[in-house]
Amino acid sequence: MASRNQNRPPRSPLFKKDSADEAPLDKRRKIGTGRVVVPARTGRVRQPFAAANNRQDVVATGDMASTESSECGSVEFTKEEVEALLNEKTKGKKFDTKGKMEQMNDYIKRLRLCIKWFQELEKSFLLEQEKLRNSLESAERKCTETEVQMKNKEEEFNATVVELREQNASLQEKFAKEESDKLDAIECHRRESEARVVAEKLQASVSAELEKTQQEKQSATQRVTTLNDMYKRLQEYNTSLQQYNSKLQTELATANDSLKRVEKEKLAIVENLSTLRGHYNSLQDQLTSSRASQDEAVKQKEALVNDVACLRGELQQVRDDRDRQLIQVQMLTTEALKYKESTGKSFAELDILTIKSNALEETCSSQREQLRILQHQLAAANEKLKMTDLSASETRAEFEEQKRIVRELQDRLVDAELQISEGEKLRKKLHNTILELKGNIRVFCRVRPLLRDDGAGTETTVISYPTSTEALGRGIDLIQSGGQKYPFTFDKVFTHEASQQDVFIEISQLVQSALDGYKVCIFAYGQTGSGKTYTMMGRPEAPEQKGLIPRSLEQIFQISQSLSSQGWKYKMQASMLEIYNETIRDLLTINRSSGLDMTRIENAAPGKQYSIKHDANGNTYVSDLTIVDVCSIKEISSLLHQAAQSRSVGKTQMNEQSSRSHFVFTLRISGVNESTEQQVQGVLNLIDLAGSERLSKSESTGDRLKETQAINKSLSSLSDVIFALAKKDDHVPFRNSKLTYLLQPCLGGDSKTLMFVNISPEPSSVGESLCSLRFAARVNACEIGIPRRQMTARPSDSRLSYG
């Protein structure tokens, strides 16, 4: 505070000392709110303006005013003070002009001070403004500089980024190149390894060859040395022989000389003899002695000749030896030459081989160097490989473990499947037993696939199949457009993917029952176009699309034939009728002239009323109905074809080829076993009901409307019967329709009955499907009589009776 006070400008004596002046600066600033404050330029202290009514404080004279005016440059005014100054009014007596003048002077002085202060203030403001402008400019400059710097930096940074990107790209390129180089190197290494192996092999073979050649060379050199030695020895021997020869020649020459001499002597002796012949007698002694000496000389000569001959022989021998030796020498020389040549060749070859070997050694050394590098790389690669091997072995072990687990699981799965199939078999058996005990009508549901006309491929699905274990293959959920789900469970549910064969497999046991002597009834129920006819008859033109009726008949004929080996003989009789508008129509009547064996029923004339009758055994008969004995599937097929042609079919809104009647196929089977005297009587009823449809939906009119009404009536009669059976009513209205009356033994009696409920999958049929499924569920819950096998011992007079 003291230091601040030191820096303060002198307080204007014009104003009274304000206590706020002594207060700390911050506090004063608070107090001075609303004042006009000079910017803190010099650290001056504001001088509060004296209150206008403190007149006793304003005592300055003109001099003082001038003195103070010189100091007032640092005087400060607050806004209130300025306002107070401006609003100040003269006080005092009205006619005290002097006093007023003084007051005015004083006022003017203060005004001047204030104006000066304002000017100062303005100046200082301007200065401050200038300063601020300068600092703003400098700040702007700095800012621009910084901006420029930033821009430069940004450019630099961008350049660096670009550079880095380029570097990255080039690095990636390099990396890719390195990778490809690495691959090349690996390939090169592999090739070089192979080349190395080949080169090593070559080197080994060349070394072996070289060694062999060196050995050969050594042996050749040795041989050359020995040959040279031999040649030298032979030359020496030759020389000695030549010397010996020359000696012998000289000896021969001396011997010849001596011979000549001896001959000369002989001649001289002969001459002497002749000269001495005269002296013969006298010289007889001399002669004898001469002869003796001659003999001796001859002997000597002979000896000498012998010696010469010997010598000649020896010489000849020596010559021969020499010649031989010479020849040998020549041979040896040629051999030596050859050897020399071969040695030369060998040497040349050796040289070439040495060059080659050197080159190879060089290659080898360079390859060794490469090999060393490659070995390094190989070692690294091996290291990597080891690591990879390790991880691979780990993975393999894991894989093996997984495989083992999978195998285990597969085994378990197989076991489980076996168990399931066994369980399924058991379940079916138990189910059959339960059903037989309970007497329920079995119900199978079949959903047909979406047809092109239905808009196949549209994604809306109104049917789903539950996947829970208890409902799998037996459950079906119908989903209404609102999302409401209606779950149903039947004995079996066939999805749209089920084939005719899949369906037949499930009913084949039931068909077999007909052969065993049971009454079997299978009927198809469902809205029009839901696939009833497809299920029952199928498309006979396509073998895999044959329906249950042809398949069942095929099975029956096959089994009946195979049972013949056990002594069973079967007789089959077929009939086919339709109930159209509550009237029975015989579908086989027009075939009476077809040549087939027809069993004529009483009053079977066209236009006859066919009446239904049941006997005490629960057998149903239709009067006047054509019954045809059938022996083969071919016969039945042609009958079926004929019946199909005769059926009342029409085009409806829902189906192009709608069955407008209930179709009933009946096969009576009677079997007799010759060996056991057993007799069975089974009946197989296969029924394709007319389609249930709402009148509104069918949009039928005229005859079609009548048909639809009749169909609906009989179907509603069927449901009435079912509901009455379900409720265990005393009265079941079987007689309400031809259909229910015909089916009475099946529904309320002792037959094995199966109902197919056919469902259309298209969303527009949800309502109909729901009705069908609800009806089927009621049927499924309905108890009928316990199936009874019609099996008797063969009566002595065995005759089958029908109706």
Q: Binding site residues for ATP, as ranges?
A: 526-533
C-alpha pair distances (Å), 192 with each of 196, 202, 375, 787:
6, 14, 11, 87
Taking the least distance from each CB to ligand ATP, the nearer of 534 and 570 is 534
Q: Which position among 530, 685, 698, 753 is part of the footprint of ligand ATP (CB under 6 A)?
A: 530
Can you tell me which of 196, 322, 519, 532 binds ligand ATP, judged by CB under 6 A?
A: 532
Binding mask 362-391 for ligand ATP (x = CB under 6 A): ------------------------------
C-alpha dihedral sign at 712, 715, 716, 717: positive
- Binding-residue pattern over the window 737 to 776 for ligand ATP, x denoting contact by CB under 6 A: ---------------------x------------------
Q: Does 533 bind ligand ATP (CB under 6 A)?
A: yes
Pairwise CA distance, residues 613 & 619, whole Å: 8
- Residue closer to ligand ATP, measured from CB, 49 or 534: 534
Q: Among 649, 650, 761, 653, which Cα is nearest to 698's? A: 653
Question: Do 666 and 556 form a contact (C-beta atoms < 8 A)?
Answer: no
Closer of 734 and 756 to ligand ATP (Cβ): 756
Least distance from C-beta 683 to ligand ATP, angstroms? 23
What amino acid is encoded at 635 in this protein?
A: E
Task: Give the CB-nearest residue to ligand ATP.
Answer: 691
Q: Which of residues 561-590 bind ligand ATP (CB under 6 A)?
A: none
Burial of 421 (0-12, 13-18, 19+ CB in 10 A): exposed
What track of x and - describes contact with ligand ATP for positions 644 through 673 (by CB under 6 A)?
-----------x-xxx--------------
Pairing type for strands 475-479 and 485-489 reads antiparallel
Number of residues binding to ligand ATP, judged by CB under 6 A = 18
53 vs 657, which CB is nearer to ligand ATP? 657
Residues at the annotated binding site?
526-533
Distance separating alpha carbons of residues 527 and 530, to the nearest angstrom: 6
Bin 493: left if φ > 0, else alpha if -120 < ψ < 50, else beta. Answer: beta
Beta strands in 296-436 (DSSP E): none
Stretch in the footprint of ligand ATP (CB under 6 A) among 98-106, 322-330, 376-384, 523-531? 523-531
Do 549 and 640 touch, CB atoms closer than 8 A?
yes
Radius of gyration for the alpha carbons in the chain, expressed in angstroms and rounded: 72
Q: Which is nearer to ligand ATP, 527 or 751 (CB)?
A: 527
* Distance between CA atoms of residues 698 and 709, nearest Å: 11
Q: Considering beta carbons, is residue 186 or 649 the nearer one to ligand ATP?
A: 649
Interatomic CA distance for residues 629 and 445, integer angstroms = 33
From the number of C-beta atoms within 10 Å of its C-beta (0-12, 13-18, 19+), residue 8 rates as: middle
Cβ nearer to ligand ATP, comparing 514 with 766: 766
Q: Give the nearest distance from C-beta 635 to ligand ATP in angstroms.
A: 25
- Smallest distance, ligand ATP to C-beta of residue 742, A: 18
What order do you get walking across the sheet with 475-479 strand by strand? 463-464, 475-479, 485-489
- How far apart CA 737 and CA 713 sit, in angstroms, is 8
- Which member of 475, 550, 618, 691 binds ligand ATP (CB under 6 A)? 691
Would you count residue 543 as binding ligand ATP (CB under 6 A)?
A: no
529 binds ligand ATP (CB under 6 A): yes
Rounded Cα distance between 743 and 718, Å, is: 9
CB of 704 to ligand ATP, least distance (A): 12
Q: How far is the CB of 445 from ligand ATP (least distance, A)?
A: 12
> Is 557 or 775 the residue whose CB approaches ligand ATP more closely?
775
Considering only residues 435-494, where is the footprint of ligand ATP by CB under 6 A? 448-449, 451
Tell me how far, at minimum, the Cβ of 531 lies from ligand ATP, in Å: 3
Residue ranges in contact with ligand ATP by CB under 6 A: 448-449, 451, 526, 528-534, 655, 657-659, 690-691, 758
